Amino acid sequence: MDKKRLFFIIFAGVFGFTQWGCENPENDQAELTSTSNNTLGSPSVGNGQTGQVSDYFYNFENDINASFYRFHPSILGYDYEKYYGLFQKDPPAMSYRTFPDYLVTMEPDDAPEYTRRYYIDSLSVQDSIVPDSVLITSTQFKNLELLEWDLDAEPSQQRYQLRNSNWIQSDTMIHYEETFDVSAYRAVVDTPFIETGILFVDSSEWKDTNYVFMADEQIRFTATFDFIRQQLSLDSLVFRENTDCNDNGEWDQHEEQIEDYNNDGKYQVLYEYTDQNNNGVYDEGTDIIIADYNADGIYGVVYEFEDRGNGLWDPAEVWYDINEDGQYDLNEPYEDRNCNEKWDGSESFTDANANNTYDDGEEFVDSGNRLYDATEGFTLKDIDGDGVPDKLLYTIQDKPANLLVDWSDQENPVVLLEISLNDDLTDRWGNVYTDIIEEVDFLDFKQQYVNDVDSVVTLYTRKKVGHIKHHDQFPEDYFITKSEWTTASGGVEERHYNYQIFYEQNHVNQVVYPAYFLPIGFYFSPGEIQDGFWHKRQLESEVLYFTSNGTIRDGEQVDTAYYDTTAIAIYFVEKSYTVETSQATVPAARKRYENDGSGTFTCLFDNSMVTDPEECPAVDTTFSDCFKVTRLLTMTMLGSGVQFGQRTESWLANGYGVVKSEVHVRWTEHPYMSDLTYNGTPDSSNQAWVGLNRLELASIQQSSQNGIFKRLTHPAQVIQLRDIANHPDFDYDPFRISTQAGIHTINLREFAE
């Protein structure tokens, strides 16, 4: 059997790498599709306000120790004043600090011997038999259990509501055996080895990567699922719209036209006067004359057409008497048999035998519907099976708004407000419709192909912590920062932290593990979703703040869109970046109290008196020299069509860095919390966002040193990411994978906490 030259890589234990490198967006290996807006090349934009980005974000050569109030989803609706007034304490805090004495510098490390592979005889097996299985799942469907007329809706909006069961689905597991050869090797790292940059390897942990070679032909498995399905019958009575507008049970041409008296191109009923006293006749001197349309000298009602009856005495249209008063009310549903969209009572007749009931042979007024009826529409269907289509007096509408009436008892027809399984009805003309909701056999045939494994090569290598490339021939300075915060759930506090890596080259860049979502069906609980994403296992670079030669400018806008092909799926990624001048008011650190020398302090927040000034709450500070930066991410998984959006709005103040920052997210299909799929009020783009967290500056301390002097007298120490966990300055906290947006940590599990 020929082997396919193309092989598939299966990751076991710790995931391996499918792509190396850390690239700027303009150098990204993903396929770039468009750059619709880019003002970076423009000499001037916006209102002309500019500033050095290191003044408005952070100068990482400074020792910065900041504190933020961190509003998580359950308290996101509070501001500082409301939270303090309710709980009499400050909101939860997040600390943020830089480490100017440490740099992550990237140096080449060419060691070809690390890629040499050694055969492991004890782990290699010939003709290995491995049990396997394939799960085949049926089509998902719901049973129709009940049709129920919605009496609570407005009369014009009333219709049948289809009450369905829960989703019905079945599956079967087919077990089989695979026979193939297994060859095992070991090496420090797999190939190809990096040519530039630095590779971080954790020598304490092995990972195994299986290179699986497949046979040319796949294995086919089939299954047939047998269901009893409840559905609307083929008659679809509730979707019919009556076209028999003279209610005679036969198809008719249009009504005869008499004359268009008022020359408006329509044939209708004309009133020649306004009936001021509503007595139904013209009263000279009281009623107002409109026109004598037919010039007969009499003012009344003129028909421009022959309002055709049906030659039958018609009882009142059947209605459901909600209040049981025996009188039709406008909010009560009825069977509109003559298409005039109003309820009609019975036709008047001469009660010859005084029994208050119409009897055959008695004279009656054969009324039309007071509307001009065009040629009646119809639906062609071969009812009697003679091969000749019959004209059925209805059309099909897109909503179940046809009120069904059972005429089994012609003297007492009944409105059917509820229709259950196997219910029947008889119409006015004696046609019987059985099983409006019917049961049918549903055979669902499914097949699934699986790859036939021909051989497996297992390579054991050390875990790669990270790899970052150079962008030019000079080493790059990568600055490390750290955020720390706590959360409380069920009375138990949990400490959290995260590291951020930044560097400045053309723009402010952030080194991250690229994060991607999976759609509904892959996660079933917050615990399984981790922090909401899956991540590539290599560090890559993305632009955090675009600058024009290190300058942040009002009116800057950069939009990009590209396809990102991953081992899981292809994602269409759209990013938008905008800058505008703004101001921000936050409870930042400033003087909180007045001291009159008496040993007590007056809090400026609420004028309360305290003996310990630390008990005084914060007072709002307004930063007017600010830029507001909005970063919008839209990620669409091709195939499934599921879309995730993330909007980060940050206010950068001159000399303070981030003073306020907010993260909102949105889903078209949330992976495990359906109530977060659509939430919030749609914005101008009809997108409904839900807040994840908000940071507001509480305090900041920073000490600056001359960069050149510091490098000469106190050069920064080089530290590798894997060594951070062993260093007391970093509290022995190891570097780990996470989803980041600036100084934010994106953790969707917070919605469930």
* Contacts of 359 by beta carbon, 8 Å cutoff, 6+ apart: 352, 353
- DSSP letter string, 301-322: EEESB-----SS--PPPPB--T
Inside any domain, residue 92: yes
Inside any domain, residue 519: yes
Instruction: Identify whether the C-beta of residue 552 lies closer than 8 Å to the C-beta of residue 51.
Output: yes
Inside any domain, residue 294: no
Inside any domain, residue 390: no
Dist. CA 389–CA 544, nearest whole Å:
68
- What confidence tier does 374 reach under pLDDT thresholds 50, 70, 90? very high
Phi-psi region of 426 (alpha: psi -120 to 50; beta: other; left: phi over 0): beta
Inside any domain, residue 339: no
Q: What is the mean pLDDT of residues 235-250?
A: 90
- What confidence tier does 149 reach under pLDDT thresholds 50, 70, 90? very high
Dist. CA 199–CA 351, nearest whole Å:
103
Inside any domain, residue 682: yes
Q: Please state, rounded to an integer, the average pLDDT across all residues of the chain.
A: 82
Q: What pLDDT does residue 24 have?
A: 30
Which phi and psi (to 5°) does residue 32 adopt? Answer: -80, 130
Q: Which of 31-40, 692-701, 728-737 shows the lowest mean pLDDT across its residues?
A: 31-40
Does residue 404 register a pLDDT over 70? yes
Does residue 282 register a pLDDT over 80? yes
Q: Domain containing 743: what range?
A: 35-106+469-590+617-752
Inside any domain, residue 558: yes
Q: What pLDDT does residue 2 have?
A: 38
Q: Which of 34-38, 177-181, 262-266, 500-504 shows the lowest mean pLDDT across its residues?
A: 34-38
Does residue 706 register a pLDDT over 80? no
Instruction: Identify whether the C-beta of residue 57 lies closer than 8 Å to the C-beta of residue 545.
Output: yes
- What confidence tier does 577 reach under pLDDT thresholds 50, 70, 90? very high
Q: What pLDDT does residue 23 have?
A: 31
Q: What is the mean pLDDT of residues 501-518?
A: 86
Instruction: Identify whether the C-beta of residue 92 lies closer than 8 Å to the C-beta of residue 72.
Output: yes
Q: What pLDDT does residue 108 have?
A: 38
Does residue 18 register a pLDDT over 60? no
User: In 8-161, which ranges are continuous DSSP H helix?
Assistant: 53-56, 80-87
Inside any domain, residue 510: yes
Does residue 135 register a pLDDT over 80? yes
Does residue 251 register a pLDDT over 80? yes
CA distances from 331 to 151, 319, 401, 640 (A): 9, 10, 15, 44
The HSE-up count of residue 54 (CA atoms within 13 Å, CB side) is 12
What total number of domains does the chain contain?
A: 1
Buried b (16+ CB within 10 A) or exposed e, 125-162: eeeeeeeeeeebebeebebbebbebeeeeeeeebbbee
* Through-space distance between the first and last CA atoms of the chain, rounded to whole angstroms: 54
